[in-house]
Amino acid sequence: MALLASVFGISQGSDRQVELTWDAPTERIDGTPLPASEIVGYDLECNNGESQSGITGTSITISVAPSLLECSLVTLATGDNGEVLRSEPATASLVVVPFLAAPVKANNFEMRTL
């Protein structure tokens, strides 16, 4: 399962919005098929304290301060006896850069007749 992260901005001087997307796994570790109906959800943990459990779907958007963001995502699926099984974590990292600030105004701007 590939976990991808992309950054898009909201406004200058604030946290950045990061979209995490992934492809749902289609097989179990023993190679047997994993039907989408057996995927219960996903658990996300990031090094900035972001933690969400039971995510449905294959994307999520989080708000992040500029930093090195590292996240792990675990797939939750039902087992033979209805128990919930956890995958090994998929990981991704991204350097979240701040917005660039506008330049300061020009100095010594004058007009004169020649």
% of residues, the chain, pLDDT over 90: 60
Domain boundaries, the chain: 3-96
Tally of CA atoms within 13 A in the half-sphere of 51 that contains its CB: 2
49 φψ region: left (φ > 0), alpha (ψ -120 to 50), beta (else): left
Handedness of CA 43, 5, 65, 88 (dihedral sign): positive
Q: From the centroid of its chain, how far is CA 72?
A: 9
- pLDDT tens-digit series, residues 60-113: 999 988 889 999 999 999 999 999 999 999 999 988 887 766 677 788 777 787
Contact 40, 76 (CB under 8 A): yes
Report field, pTM of the whole predicted structure over 0.85: no
* Fold for the domain defined by 3-96: Immunoglobulin-like (2.60.40)
